[in-house]
Chain A
Amino acid sequence: MSCKPGELCYEGVKRRRALAVLGLMALIFVALSAVSFLDSRGQAVPSAIEYAGLDAVAGKRVFQAYNCMGCHTIVGNGAYLGPDLTNLYEHTGPAWLAAFLPSAGSWPTNGAVKLQLQDKAVATESGVETIEAYLEKYPAAAERIARRGGQSSHMPNLPFSRQEVYELIAFLKYTSAMNTEGWPPVPKVNGLTFPAATPMPVAVQEAALAPAETSIAAPVSAAAHGAELAEANGCTACHAPTTEKLVGPGWAGLYGSTVKLADGSSVVVDDAYLTEKILKPDAKLVEGYEPGVMPSFAELLDADQIADVVTYIRSLGGK
């Protein structure tokens, strides 16, 4: 197609024609774009979507500030280390997200999600009151609790405040509500159970564990019972049994130590302090920690159970 020197190529005419076609295409593109964002399409908009009184625009700012797209995709764009987040809210529901996000390093347990449902706002947004109804309404949450609950996830713990967690949930509520023209395609088989699949090692394990809610036979000691309660109620998602800080302080050596509070005073960690912490986490805020990150377990644990958890923490050492 090259024009040899001295050949007549009618370049001027061709150029004008190419420009005219290009102009026509630009017009088509602009027209299509204009139609795409008309209100009459009924596409979800973040400013109109609220979660627990926080709007999705604020959530989008949090989403960008933590560069979530650097590991996850959203509407399929982003990185491929973690799953796509577009429809996560719709699948797992807000209580699971509220339990997961503050301590993203591990998968929430049944108790941790149950705890979130105690929050009236979360229960209202979920549309259910009890954990049983919740798991029925959100099968993806049930799958996550049954197969992954208590195990470590591949996501690092991020320093989300309570408000940021709720804002993120608002943003995910918005993306779930978006019409993405049928993407991602809905699977026609259940990948865990369909006959031709070679089950992944974890899937096999899950099948063995299927009746997850086995009742526990009489525990040997108060400390052991406390350890079980801490695991089942999701305490260990944030608190390691070592001195390592996950989200909250590690429990090893905590008992009997002196901690500095945000108001400048200090307090010795004893039974009364730990009990109060479990019931009213923000009553004595420790320096360096955000209020609202730790939930209250008042509705979930009775006095005996709290005493067992405290006994367990005491057993992990300290003065």
Chain B
Amino acid sequence: MFRIEYQTQRLSLRFFVVMLVLFFFQTAFGLLLSAQHIDPALLAGTLNFNVIRTQHLNLAIFWILCGFIGTILFVGPLLSKRELAAPWLIKFLFYALLAIVAWNLCTQILAQKGIAGWWMGQPMLQEGLEYLEAGRVADVFILVGFAILCYVVLRTFPPVSQWNEIHWGLGLGVLALTLVWVFGMFFVERLDVQEYFRWYVVHYWVEGVWEVIHISLVGFLLVLLFKADVKSVGYAVFWGVSLVWLSGLIGNAHHYFWIGTPEFWQFWGSLFSALEPLPLIFCFWHIYLDAHQDGKPILNMPAFAFLLGSVVLEQVGAGILGFTMTFALTNVWSHGTWVTVSHAHLALFGTFGMLGLAAAYYAIPIMRGAANFDQRLGKLAFWLVFTGILGLGFAFAIGGTVQVYVYRTLGLDWFGGDVAPAMLFAKAMVPLFGIVFTAGVGLLTYDLLTLGLREEPAAPGEASYPVAAGWGRPLSGWETGIWLLAMWFFGGVITLGLLSFNLDTVRQGSALLPYVMGGVGYPGLLLATLFFVWRFLHSLEARGHAHLTPFAGVPAPAGTT
């Protein structure tokens, strides 16, 4: 396992390194934003909130893409059984990426002066559209970068006749990544048409493209981690991708409820985007199956922890929280509030961010030749980041519920005087969990950057494995199903809580129902998630114990221990 098969795989290392650096800065910007939410006068006039938020969003996209590129470059040769095509282009792509990030950092500040760089009707420097803030100049270079990635991937892959499902998933993924980007490259006069096409990029990237790349990469990482059968994973990848597209294509309609497009979108969006969790449940189930096809211990626990985190948060953040606000009757309340922020953080970082980190934890020890690296730092970092992001999701959700009530039900629209003070408790929780999260990010950045380069302490002995009982006993399919059901139960409570804003008693000013249901649903969901992942990882770690003592795998008869 700890050996590089193809030399060009090493090109992925630089992308992982940049990913970690950008991730760290993105987190720092996020922490700053949470401080500005509490004191809006902080840095106002020097670095306005919108400028920092833009970097928070854009760096998120950049580092997630870095993670994808790094992973694709690492697994590309393994999938193709040959070296990557055109390594010089990959090196060029790397420097181009650095240049674009730096360029975008500089041009976004111009928003404070209202300079967009209008030329030929297009904003050349920055365009002030959420997620697509980059100006046209950067857009064009990003498009070129995507085209290079496509070229490298497709040239490296074997002829199409020999493709399996993972090849198809990745190949279509990188092509669609490039294609969909084009829809964000025009100034549109009408707001409704602009929002219509903006979601082409944002929604189809996330739900059509990233998800496909995600499924393919998760599939292949499972193959690598568990020596799972490519054929059976491939079949799962095919159905995963199919379900993503079957639900997500029209599911995009959930963005077209209130932007000035006709009412019929509410029907199509509510119906199809309610199906969007299906592929995620499928993916969730598959990681259970693959991790339990044999009782062998996991050699690289941090990599698996982040992979599990990615699949579970995809289920919880994208699947369940997305589901709660996907119906027109709940979305009419959640839309435009912090309720959506909770979903966005868990889904975007959880699903895609954690995948990049999982791949980095898998690939970097191999590239650095550190077979017996100390996994404790990585595991601790995982728990800090995982707890941090769940806490952030909780803070945003609670703040959002209060915001819906004060802002929409009571109709108070003074953010400084009415809305923000009501949300203050939640606003204060954000930097609190943000610090936990940032600590994890700092730790994993340090760990991954110095892994294999720093002096290693002695590898922990057998004592560090938990016993295979209690939380460490083998996880059965039934139990996993119960956990999943519990998560969906709380998801149902949250959905009903949002739905209750339609009730006349609530509209007359009583916050009781939505507050109680939100207060039960969100902590319930997030704690179930936390304990489930704890349970899952604990039972896998206990295998190390079982592996060392041959009889421990067999349950001891009652009363003998």
A69, B36: Cβ atoms closer than 8 Å: no
B44, A181: Cβ atoms closer than 8 Å: no
- Is chain B's binding surface mostly helix, strand, loop or mixed? helix
The answer, yes or no, to whether A292 is at the interface (CB within 8 Å) is: no
The answer, yes or no, to whether A28 is at the interface (CB within 8 Å) is: yes
In chain A, what residue has the closest Cβ to B232?
A2
- Say yes or no: A67-B335 contact (C-beta < 8 A), given A2-B289, A62-B114: no
B414, A43: Cβ atoms closer than 8 Å: no
A189, B509: Cβ atoms closer than 8 Å: yes
In chain B, what residue has the closest Cβ to A2?
B232
The answer, yes or no, to whether A46 is at the interface (CB within 8 Å) is: yes
B129, A64: Cβ atoms closer than 8 Å: yes
Q: Which residues of B contact A188 (CB under 8 A)?
A: 507-508
Compute how far the CA of A124 lies from the CA of B287 in the bound complex, rounded to whole angstroms.
65
Name 8 A/B residue pairs within 8 A (Cβ), A-sorted. A65-B123, A79-B50, A81-B49, A154-B420, A157-B45, A178-B191, A185-B333, A196-B510
Q: Which residues of A contact B245 (CB under 8 A)?
A: 22
- Say yes or no: A79-B410 contact (C-beta < 8 A), given A197-B509, A200-B421: no
A2, B195: Cβ atoms closer than 8 Å: no
- Say yes or no: A1-B236 contact (C-beta < 8 A), given A70-B53, A81-B37, A202-B417: yes
Q: Which residues of B contact A5 (CB under 8 A)?
A: 229, 231-232
In chain B, what residue has the closest Cβ to A9?
B235
The answer, yes or no, to whether A130 is at the interface (CB within 8 Å) is: no
Besides the contacts A36-B192, A36-B196, A65-B128, what 17 more A-B pairs have beta carbons closer than 8 Å? Answer: A1-B282, A2-B233, A5-B229, A11-B235, A28-B250, A37-B261, A43-B260, A68-B50, A70-B48, A76-B259, A81-B415, A82-B415, A159-B114, A181-B257, A181-B263, A184-B408, A200-B412
Please classify how large the interface on chain B is, using the bins under 10, 10 to 19, 20 to 34, 35 or more.
35 or more
On chain A, the number of residues with a Cβ less than 8 Å from chain B's Cβ atoms is 88
The answer, yes or no, to whether A148 is at the interface (CB within 8 Å) is: yes
Using a CB-CB cutoff of 8 Å, which residues 270-327 of chain B contact chain A? Answer: 282, 286, 289
In chain B, what residue has the closest Cβ to A171?
B191
A1, B239: Cβ atoms closer than 8 Å: yes
**Minimum distance in angstroms from A218 CB to a CB of chain B:** 33
B509, A22: Cβ atoms closer than 8 Å: no
- Say yes or no: A189-B410 contact (C-beta < 8 A), given A64-B123, A183-B257: yes
A77, B54: Cβ atoms closer than 8 Å: no
User: Could you mark each residue 29-42 of chain A with 1 if its beta carbon is under 8 Å from any beta carbon of chain B, else 0?
Assistant: 10011011100010
Compute how far the CA of A186 lies from the CA of B37 in the bound complex, rounded to whole angstroms.
26
Binds A, one of B84-92, B97-105, B336-344: B336-344
Compute how far the CA of A45 lies from the CA of B190 in the bound complex, rounded to whole angstroms.
6
Across the A-B interface, give the 9 residue pairs with the lowest CB-CB distance, nearest first: A70-B50, A191-B410, A187-B411, A76-B336, A183-B258, A67-B128, A67-B111, A65-B116, A154-B40
**Minimum distance in angstroms from A288 CB to a CB of chain B:** 14
